Structure 1
Amino acid sequence: MVKKLELRFKSAEGKTKVIGVDQPVEGLDPMIAQAAMEEIINQDMFEVEGIKQFAAIKDARYVTRTVENIIEEV
Protein backbone atom coordinates (compact mmCIF):
# COMPACT_ATOMS: atom_id res chain seq x y z
CA MET A 1 0.00 0.00 0.00
CA VAL A 2 1.32 3.43 -0.99
CA LYS A 3 0.22 6.57 0.85
CA LYS A 4 0.62 10.11 -0.41
CA LEU A 5 -0.37 13.50 1.00
CA GLU A 6 -2.03 15.82 -1.51
CA LEU A 7 -2.14 19.54 -0.81
CA ARG A 8 -4.76 20.86 -3.21
CA PHE A 9 -5.03 24.51 -4.16
CA LYS A 10 -7.14 26.64 -6.47
CA SER A 11 -5.31 28.70 -9.05
CA ALA A 12 -6.33 32.27 -9.88
CA GLU A 13 -8.21 30.73 -12.83
CA GLY A 14 -10.13 28.39 -10.51
CA LYS A 15 -8.28 25.26 -11.61
CA THR A 16 -7.14 22.66 -9.08
CA LYS A 17 -3.37 22.46 -8.55
CA VAL A 18 -1.77 19.74 -6.43
CA ILE A 19 1.47 19.35 -4.50
CA GLY A 20 2.02 15.67 -3.70
CA VAL A 21 4.18 14.46 -0.83
CA ASP A 22 5.41 10.85 -0.80
CA GLN A 23 5.77 9.02 2.53
CA PRO A 24 3.98 11.70 4.57
CA VAL A 25 3.72 11.89 8.34
CA GLU A 26 0.69 9.95 9.54
CA GLY A 27 -2.07 11.82 11.39
CA LEU A 28 -1.01 15.30 10.34
CA ASP A 29 -2.74 18.02 12.38
CA PRO A 30 -5.14 19.91 10.07
CA MET A 31 -4.06 23.26 11.53
CA ILE A 32 -0.42 22.55 10.68
CA ALA A 33 -1.35 21.53 7.14
CA GLN A 34 -3.43 24.69 6.73
CA ALA A 35 -0.62 26.91 8.02
CA ALA A 36 1.85 25.28 5.63
CA MET A 37 -0.52 25.75 2.70
CA GLU A 38 -1.12 29.39 3.63
CA GLU A 39 2.63 29.94 3.69
CA ILE A 40 2.96 28.45 0.19
CA ILE A 41 0.24 30.84 -1.00
CA ASN A 42 1.83 33.84 0.77
CA GLN A 43 5.25 33.21 -0.77
CA ASP A 44 3.79 33.89 -4.24
CA MET A 45 6.48 31.72 -5.86
CA PHE A 46 4.47 29.95 -8.52
CA GLU A 47 3.16 31.86 -11.52
CA VAL A 48 2.72 30.76 -15.09
CA GLU A 49 2.26 33.52 -17.65
CA GLY A 50 1.32 35.92 -14.84
CA ILE A 51 -1.35 33.61 -13.38
CA LYS A 52 -0.97 32.70 -9.71
CA GLN A 53 -0.98 28.88 -9.53
CA PHE A 54 -1.60 28.61 -5.79
CA ALA A 55 -4.17 31.32 -4.98
CA ALA A 56 -6.39 29.61 -2.38
CA ILE A 57 -6.63 26.43 -0.33
CA LYS A 58 -8.98 23.80 -1.72
CA ASP A 59 -8.25 20.88 0.63
CA ALA A 60 -5.64 18.44 1.86
CA ARG A 61 -6.01 14.70 1.85
CA TYR A 62 -4.24 11.40 2.18
CA VAL A 63 -4.48 9.20 -0.90
CA THR A 64 -3.82 5.49 -0.49
CA ARG A 65 -3.41 3.02 -3.30
CA THR A 66 -2.42 -0.60 -3.50
CA VAL A 67 0.29 -1.64 -5.92
CA GLU A 68 0.71 -5.30 -6.86
CA ASN A 69 3.58 -6.18 -9.18
CA ILE A 70 2.90 -9.07 -11.51
CA ILE A 71 6.44 -9.05 -12.93
CA GLU A 72 9.37 -7.96 -10.78
CA GLU A 73 12.05 -5.68 -12.18
CA VAL A 74 14.60 -7.66 -14.18
Structure 2
Amino acid sequence: MNESYNLELLFENEEGKARKITIRRPLDGLTEEVVSPVMQAIVDSDLFDDEGLDRYAVASSARYVRTTVDEVFTTAEEK
Protein backbone atom coordinates (compact mmCIF):
# COMPACT_ATOMS: atom_id res chain seq x y z
CA MET A 1 0.00 0.00 0.00
CA ASN A 2 1.27 3.45 -0.92
CA GLU A 3 -0.17 6.63 0.61
CA SER A 4 0.37 10.25 -0.37
CA TYR A 5 -0.59 13.30 1.64
CA ASN A 6 -1.14 16.76 0.14
CA LEU A 7 -2.50 20.15 1.12
CA GLU A 8 -4.79 21.73 -1.48
CA LEU A 9 -5.27 25.49 -1.50
CA LEU A 10 -8.47 26.30 -3.35
CA PHE A 11 -9.08 29.64 -5.06
CA GLU A 12 -11.37 31.23 -7.63
CA ASN A 13 -10.20 33.34 -10.53
CA GLU A 14 -11.85 36.62 -11.56
CA GLU A 15 -14.39 34.68 -13.64
CA GLY A 16 -15.40 32.51 -10.66
CA LYS A 17 -13.69 29.38 -11.99
CA ALA A 18 -11.96 27.06 -9.51
CA ARG A 19 -8.16 27.08 -9.24
CA LYS A 20 -5.96 24.91 -7.03
CA ILE A 21 -2.41 24.88 -5.69
CA THR A 22 -1.26 21.50 -4.36
CA ILE A 23 1.51 21.29 -1.77
CA ARG A 24 3.16 17.88 -1.46
CA ARG A 25 4.25 16.60 1.96
CA PRO A 26 2.91 19.58 3.96
CA LEU A 27 3.26 20.08 7.68
CA ASP A 28 0.59 18.19 9.60
CA GLY A 29 -2.06 19.98 11.64
CA LEU A 30 -2.08 23.35 9.90
CA THR A 31 -5.02 25.53 10.92
CA GLU A 32 -7.09 28.22 9.24
CA GLU A 33 -5.22 30.83 11.27
CA VAL A 34 -1.94 29.70 9.66
CA VAL A 35 -3.08 28.91 6.12
CA SER A 36 -5.55 31.73 5.47
CA PRO A 37 -3.01 34.61 5.67
CA VAL A 38 -0.67 32.72 3.33
CA MET A 39 -3.48 32.23 0.82
CA GLN A 40 -4.41 35.90 1.10
CA ALA A 41 -0.78 36.84 0.40
CA ILE A 42 -1.00 34.78 -2.81
CA VAL A 43 -4.19 36.64 -3.77
CA ASP A 44 -2.67 40.04 -2.96
CA SER A 45 0.60 39.35 -4.80
CA ASP A 46 -0.96 39.27 -8.30
CA LEU A 47 1.92 37.03 -9.37
CA PHE A 48 -0.33 34.80 -11.44
CA ASP A 49 -1.83 37.35 -13.80
CA ASP A 50 -2.72 35.61 -17.06
CA GLU A 51 -3.18 38.16 -19.86
CA GLY A 52 -5.11 40.50 -17.56
CA LEU A 53 -7.03 37.73 -15.74
CA ASP A 54 -6.20 37.25 -12.06
CA ARG A 55 -5.90 33.46 -11.78
CA TYR A 56 -6.03 33.49 -7.95
CA ALA A 57 -8.47 36.32 -7.15
CA VAL A 58 -10.25 34.83 -4.11
CA ALA A 59 -9.07 32.34 -1.48
CA SER A 60 -11.97 29.94 -0.92
CA SER A 61 -10.72 27.00 1.19
CA ALA A 62 -7.90 24.63 2.08
CA ARG A 63 -7.94 20.91 2.72
CA TYR A 64 -5.72 17.94 3.37
CA VAL A 65 -6.07 15.15 0.82
CA ARG A 66 -4.85 11.61 1.43
CA THR A 67 -4.61 9.16 -1.45
CA THR A 68 -4.06 5.45 -0.90
CA VAL A 69 -2.95 3.14 -3.71
CA ASP A 70 -3.27 -0.62 -3.23
CA GLU A 71 -1.38 -2.52 -5.92
CA VAL A 72 -3.19 -5.52 -7.34
CA PHE A 73 -0.13 -6.68 -9.28
CA THR A 74 3.01 -5.23 -10.87
CA THR A 75 4.98 -6.54 -13.82
CA ALA A 76 8.70 -7.06 -13.39
CA GLU A 77 9.36 -4.15 -15.78
CA GLU A 78 7.51 -1.66 -13.55
CA LYS A 79 9.48 -2.41 -10.38
Report the TM-score when normalising by structure 2: 0.86
Q: Which runs of 5+ in 2 are unaligned?
A: none
Q: What amino acid sits opposite 1:22 in the alignment? A: R
Q: CA RMSD in A?
A: 1.2
Report the TM-score when normalising by structure 1: 0.91
Q: Whose Rg is larger? A: 2
Q: Which runs of 5+ in 1 are unaligned?
A: none
Offset of residue 68 of structure 1: 2.4
Offset of residue 30 of structure 1: 1.1
Aligned with residue 53 of structure 1, among 55, 73, 76? 55
Aligned with residue 71 of structure 1, among 66, 69, 74? 74
Q: Percent identity?
A: 34
Count of residues in correspondence between the two structures: 74
Offset of residue 37 of structure 1: 0.1
Say whether 1:40 aligns with 2:42.
Answer: yes
CA distance in 2, matches of 1:45, 1:13: 17
